[in-house]
Amino acid sequence: MNKMKKLLSLLILISPIVYKAQGFQVNLQGQAQQAMGGAGTALIQDGAAVFFNPGGVSFLKENSVNVGATPVISHGVFLESNTNATGTTQSPVAFPFAGYAVWGADSSHKVFSRFKFGLGAYTPFGSTIKWQDPWPGRFNLTEIQLFSVFIQPTISFKICNKLGIGGGFVYATGKVDLQQDLPITFQNGNYGSGIIKGNATGYGFNGGIYYKPCNKFSIGLTYRSQVNMNVKNGTATFNVPSSLATDFPNGSFTSSLPLPQVATLGLAYRVNEKLALAFDASFVGWYTYKSITFKYADTTAQLQNTVLIRNYQNAYSFRLGGQYKILNNLYGRLGLSYLISPVKSGYVTPDVPDGNRLNIMAGIGYNLGKHFAANASFTFEDITRKGDNSLSIIPTPGQTIYPLSGTYKVFIYAPGLSVTYKF
Amino acid sequence: MKHLIYKSIVIALSVSICCSCKPKLTAPAPSKGSLDLTSYVAIGNSITSGFADGALSYNGQMVSYPNLIAGQLKLINGVNLTFNQPLLPQGSIGTNIVDSAYTNTKYIYTAPLQLGYSTDCLGVNSLGPIPVATVGDESAVSTNIYASQGPFNNMGVPGARAIDVATVGYGNPANGIGNYNPFFTRMAKNQTTSSMLSDAMLLNPTFFSLFIGNNDVLLYAANGGAPPTTITSQTAFNTSINTIVSTLTSNGAKGVIGNIPDITALPYFTTVPWNGLTLRQGQADTLNGVISFLGVNYVFTAGNNPFVIYDASVNTPSHARVMQSGELVLLNVPLDQIKCHKMGTLIPIPDQYVLTATEIQNIKTATSAFNTTIQSVAQAKGLAFVDVNAFMSQTQKGISYDGISLNAQFVTGGAFSLDGIHLNPIGNALLANQFIQAINTTYSSTIPQVDATKYRGILFP
Task: Write the DSSP assignment of B160-201 as a string of letters.
Answer: --GGGTT-TTTT-GGG-TTSS-HHHHHH-S-TTT--HHHHHH
Give the per-residue pLDDT at A277: 97
pLDDT mean over A178-191: 92
Give the per-residue pLDDT at A272: 94
pLDDT mean over A88-108: 86
Closest residue in A to B402 (Cα) is A404
Å from B408 to nearest chain A CA? Answer: 10
**B402 contact residues in A (CB cutoff 8 A):** 136-137, 139-140, 402-404
Give the per-residue pLDDT at A121: 94
pLDDT at A195 over 50: yes
Residues 6+ apart with CB under 8 A from A377: A31, A32, A34, A35, A70, A333, A361, A362, A363, A414, A415, A416
pLDDT at A20 over 60: no
The ipTM of this complex is 0.91
SS3 B257: strand
Spatial separation of the C-alpha atoms in residues A168 and A49, rounded to whole Å? 11
Give the per-residue pLDDT at A17: 30
pLDDT at A136 over 60: yes
Give the per-residue pLDDT at B104: 72
Smallest Cβ–Cβ distance between A411 and the set B22, B399, B401 belongs to: B22
Å from B132 to nearest chain A CA? Answer: 13
Give the per-residue pLDDT at A105: 85
**B28 contact residues in A (CB cutoff 8 A):** 84
pLDDT at B265 over 80: yes
Cβ–Cβ under 8 Å, residues B394 and B421: no
Spatial separation of the C-alpha atoms in residues A268 and A40, rounded to whole Å? 8
User: How much is the pTM?
Assistant: 0.92
In chain A, the percentage of residues whose pLDDT exceeds 70 is 93
Counted residue by residue, chain B has a size of: 461
* C-beta atoms surrounding B85 within 10 Å: 22
Spatial separation of the C-alpha atoms in residues A380 and A410, rounded to whole Å? 10
Domain that holds residue A371: 2-422
Give the per-residue pLDDT at A127: 78
In chain B, the percentage of residues whose pLDDT exceeds 90 is 91
pLDDT at A1 over 70: no
Give the per-residue pLDDT at A10: 31
- Residue-averaged pLDDT of chain A: 89
pLDDT mean over B26-45: 97
Of the ranges A210-224, A406-420, B98-112, B161-175, which one carries the lowest mean pLDDT score? B98-112
Residues 6+ apart with CB under 8 A from B222: B229, B268, B330, B332, B421
Element (H, E) at A211: strand A191-211
> Nearest to residue A141, comparing CAs of A16, A244, A267, A34?
A16
User: B405–A243: do the CB atoms touch at under 8 Å?
Assistant: no
Give the per-residue pLDDT at B9: 67
**A136 contact residues in B (CB cutoff 8 A):** 402, 451, 453
SS3 A125: strand
**A73 contact residues in B (CB cutoff 8 A):** 19-20
Residues B158/B163/B165/B168 CA torsion (nearest 10 deg)? -110
Cβ–Cβ under 8 Å, residues A136 and A187: no
In chain B, the percentage of residues whose pLDDT exceeds 70 is 95
User: A185–B406: do the CB atoms touch at under 8 Å?
Assistant: no
Say how many Å lie between the first and final Cα of chain A, rounded.
Answer: 67
Model confidence band, residue A305 (pLDDT cutoffs 50, 70, 90):
confident
Give the per-residue pLDDT at A106: 81
Model confidence band, residue B419 (pLDDT cutoffs 50, 70, 90):
very high
Å from A9 to nearest chain B CA? Answer: 10
What total of structural domains would you count in chain A? 1
Spatial separation of the C-alpha atoms in residues B33 and B253, rounded to whole Å? 14
Burial label for B234, CB within 10 Å (0-12, 13-18, 19+), is: middle
Q: Does A18 touch chain B (CB under 8 A)?
A: no
**B413 contact residues in A (CB cutoff 8 A):** 2-3
Q: Does A2 touch chain B (CB under 8 A)?
A: yes
Q: Does B4 touch chain A (CB under 8 A)?
A: no
CATH number at residue A12: 2.40.160.60
Question: Phi, psi (5° rounding) for residue B163?
Answer: -75, -5
Q: Does B25 touch chain A (CB under 8 A)?
A: yes
Which is more confidently placed, B364 or A395? B364
pLDDT mean over A324-351: 93
Spatial separation of the C-alpha atoms in residues B39 and B252, rounded to whole Å? 12
Model confidence band, residue B24 (pLDDT cutoffs 50, 70, 90):
very high
Give the per-residue pLDDT at B211: 98
Of the ranges A414-418, B15-19, B161-165, B287-291, which one carries the lowest mean pLDDT score? B15-19
In tens, the pLDDT along B323-343 reads: 999 999 999 999 999 999 999
* C-beta atoms surrounding A22 within 10 Å: 27
User: A413–B19: do the CB atoms touch at under 8 Å?
Assistant: yes
User: B398–A400: do the CB atoms touch at under 8 Å?
Assistant: yes
- Residue-averaged pLDDT of chain B: 94
Spatial separation of the C-alpha atoms in residues A209 and A228, rounded to whole Å? 24
Cβ–Cβ under 8 Å, residues B83 and B67: yes
In tens, the pLDDT along A162-180 reads: 999 999 999 999 998 999 9
In tens, the pLDDT along B203-262 reads: 999 999 999 999 999 999 999 999 889 999 999 999 999 999 999 999 999 999 999 999
Closest residue in A to B440 (Cα) is A82
Element (H, E) at A6: helix A2-9
Cβ–Cβ under 8 Å, residues B21 and A411: yes
pLDDT at A225 over 90: yes
DSSP B124: -
A80-89, A122-131, A384-393: which is most confident: A80-89
Spatial separation of the C-alpha atoms in residues A335 and A400, rounded to whole Å? 46
Smallest Cβ–Cβ distance between B405 and the set A6, A78, A82 belongs to: A6
pLDDT mean over B124-152: 95
Give the per-residue pLDDT at B17: 65
Residues 6+ apart with CB under 8 A from B8: none
Å from B315 to nearest chain A CA? Answer: 40
Provide the number of CB pairs (under 8 Å) joining chain A to chain B: 146
Strands (E), A240-340: 251-259, 262-270, 275-284, 291-296, 306-309, 315-327, 330-340
> Nearest to residue B204, comparing CAs of B248, B257, B150?
B248
Closest residue in A to B19 (Cα) is A413
User: B15–A415: do the CB atoms touch at under 8 Å?
Assistant: yes
DSSP secondary structure letters along B416-451: B-TTSSSBPHHHHHHHHHHHHHHHHHHH---PPPP-
User: B451–A395: do the CB atoms touch at under 8 Å?
Assistant: no
pLDDT at A110 over 70: yes
